[in-house]
Amino acid sequence: MRAQYARRTQVLAGVMGFIALAIIVQMTRIQNSAEADVFRQQAENYAYELHTFYPNRGEVYDRNGRLLAGNKTVYEIGVDLSAAKDAHAIAFAVSSELGMDYNQIINLIQNPPEGLSYIVIADFIEAQQALNLQELKKALQEQAPQGTRGGLAGLQFKSHPQRSYPEDALASNIMGFVSREGRGYFGIEEKYDTLLAGNPVQALVPTDPNKAFEIPRVPDGTTLILTINRDLQAAAEQILDESLLVYSAQGGTIIVMDPRNGELLAIAAARRMDLNQFWNYGVIYDNASEFNPAISKPYEPGSVTKILTMAAALDSSTVTPNSTYLDTGSILIGGVNIKNWNQEPWGVQNMVGCLQHSLNVCMATLSMQMGAGTFYSYMDNFGFGHLTGVDMAGEAAGRLKLPGDADWYPVDLGTNAFGQGLTATPIQMLTAVSSVINNGRSVTPHALYAMVRDGRQYNVPAQYAGSPISEQTADTLTTMLAVSLETEGSLALVPGYRIAGKTGTAQIPVNGYYDSAQTNHSFIGWGPVDDPQFMIYVWLERPTASNWGSETAAPVFAQMAEKTIILLDIPPDVIRQQLVAK
């Protein structure tokens, strides 16, 4: 008997050993075969899922740390159809809280698109509204009998970021906006879209919550610090709005820039929009050029261009400040009789008088003396017809017709000298005239002060667009312009500060002809003359309260200059000079 049991035990042990050996052989074979890679990949797929992580969009601040653009959390409201038990309750709760149509919601839940187990009812819902629905869902769940599901079961909430603008419409023409698809449009948001958006990261994410530490950290987009002064921007917008009413203007622009480095301190436009409601863009603007006319809307600037004509004449040694000419009130160029703004002769004038009285005949005489080659060479170097490179999306180049162009006529040499027959944007005019302020060098205007990435700040250096005139010409012309304003008692003058600048009144071409009843009024000026710290451009479109920019744009400049002096804390000339003397 014992021998029989022993044999059975040996047979069983042999069978078990054979099975164990077969398993070991099979494991070894699989591990060393192509099937191993398949099994390993299957295991990895069960343990990890491929996800794309999108960084938070970079924030935007003004030069003093005031937030202009940030991000807030909003919610997608959806329904898990496999978990939803009471479609009517869900439709009633959501329609009541969000103000949506009940019938639309109930139809979407009861008749979902084929193949979908999850449907989106609404997106970009404010956090408080989502919280109200979450609390209602929780309360109904607690009241439901144990082991049952009803109420708002299946209602889902998914959070995600949305662009937020705490200042609403302030500086909207500078900022631009971000669509719900995450794309930047206009201004800073479009120009620096790639930097602000950051780089999405694809990574395998563990399904095991205990391995959450393996989830990669995605760096946020680059934070931008602008040159804009938030308080100065608000002041510019307020002054512009008041000026449009006072002078009955259809539109306008005010720009404040530091002429030493091209930093844009404020850009106000007549039309602005609440960036948190960017979908109203089509209601507010008729075309893209109206979003920021300071950079996108070329116009005939008129007599402010006389600064540049005089700069060219002085720099080319065509005249000196004391050169005189006999103003007869008209000059014939290309068969066209050009007259002064008041249709009257002014007799013998020197170049200061030419600027002071803003004489068209004088400027046309200077351009004729220089000749087309010299005159247009200077205008080209000043940047007419070229982009300035300002770092906001949507810049337009304007137009400078040249001899040889099909639509250029000899009379253009005369009219271009006083800013008619050519077009430029306000930002182009600022860039060109900055050479008169900045020792002959034109600055490149910019709105970006610094970038912050990975805890480090990278400042943006000043850039120069060229040197169209000499330092001596710049100094001479600045003095001439300051004397011109002081002699005429201009409404642009600011008590306690010496100012230089020039008024412009330009007729607007309508259907190819100039309409004397429709004009653009401009003023460009800077100060203090001995130490320029601000440069201001004012443009009022079609004002009807006065026919002349000296009575509209000039006082607006003075008002803006006074506010700029206060906010930038610039001491009066006497005090500054005393401090320098010490």
- Express each pLDDT in 351-371 by its tens digit: 999 999 999 999 999 999 999
SS3 (DSSP) at 179: coil
- C-alpha 287/C-alpha 161 separation (Å) is 29
Residue in the structure block whose two tokens are 């950290």: 217
Q: Are 437 and 536 in contact (CB under 8 A)?
A: no
Residue 40 has pLDDT above 80, yes or no: no
pLDDT score of 119: 86
Compute how many other C-beta atoms are within 10 angstroms of the C-beta atom of residue 496. Answer: 14
d(CA 186, CA 373): 37
* pLDDT for 33 beyond 80: no
User: How much is the pLDDT for 405?
Assistant: 94
3-state helix, strand, coil in the chain (%, to 5): 40, 25, 35
Contact between 348 and 397 under an 8 Å Cβ cutoff? The reply is no
Q: Report, as an integer, the average pLDDT of 264-274.
A: 97
Cis status of the peptide bond prior to 206, with omega within 30 of 0: no
Q: Is 483 helix (H, G, I), strand (E, B) or coil?
A: helix
Q: Which has the higher per-residue pLDDT, 580 or 32?
A: 580
Residue 85 has pLDDT above 80, yes or no: yes
Do residues 466 and 409 make contact, with C-beta atoms less than 8 angstroms apart? no
The tokens for 334 are: 């290309």
With 60 as the cut, is the pLDDT of residue 441 above it? yes
How many other β-carbons are positioned within 10 Å of the β-carbon of residue 466? 14
Q: And the tokens for 112? A: 């979902």
pLDDT band, residue 266 (cuts 50/70/90) = very high
Residue ranges of the alpha helices (H) in 51-175? Answer: 87-98, 102-110, 127-143, 172-175
Structure tokens that stand for 100 in this block: 């949506």
Q: What is the pLDDT of residue 15?
A: 65
- Lowest mean pLDDT of 20-29, 197-206, 278-287, 437-446, name the range: 20-29
Write down the pLDDT at residue 189.
96
More confident residue, 86 or 202: 86
Above pLDDT 90, what percent of the chain? 63
Pairing of strands 223-226, 60-61: parallel
The alpha carbon torsion through 469, 472, 476, 479 (nearest 10 deg) reads: 100
More confident residue, 391 or 37: 391
* Total-model pTM: 0.85
Query: What three-state secondary structure class fits 86?
Result: coil
Q: How high is the pLDDT of residue 44?
A: 52
Residues, the chain, total? 582
pLDDT exceeds 60 at position 482: yes
pLDDT beyond 70 at 147: no
Domains, the chain, in order of start with CATH, read 72-166 (3.30.70), 230-581 (3.40.710.10)
CB atoms within 10 A of CB 181: 5
Average pLDDT over residues 13-25: 69
Q: How many Cβ atoms sit within 10 Å of the Cβ of residue 123?
A: 14
**Distance (Å, rounded) from C-alpha 283 to C-alpha 273?**
10
Per-residue pLDDT band at 262 (split at 50, 70, 90): very high
Half-sphere exposure of residue 541: CA atoms within 13 angstroms, side-chain side: 19
What's the pLDDT score for residue 1?
52
> pLDDT digit string (tens) for 543-569?
999 889 999 999 999 999 999 999 999
- Using DSSP's 3-state secondary structure scheme, residue 319 falls into coil
Predicted confidence at residue 42, as pLDDT, reads 52
- Non-local (6+) Cβ contacts of 284 within 8 A are 271, 272, 273
- The residue ranking higher by pLDDT, 207 or 426, is 426
Mean pLDDT for the stretch of residues 125-147: 80
Express each pLDDT in 308-320 by its tens digit. Answer: 999 999 999 999 9
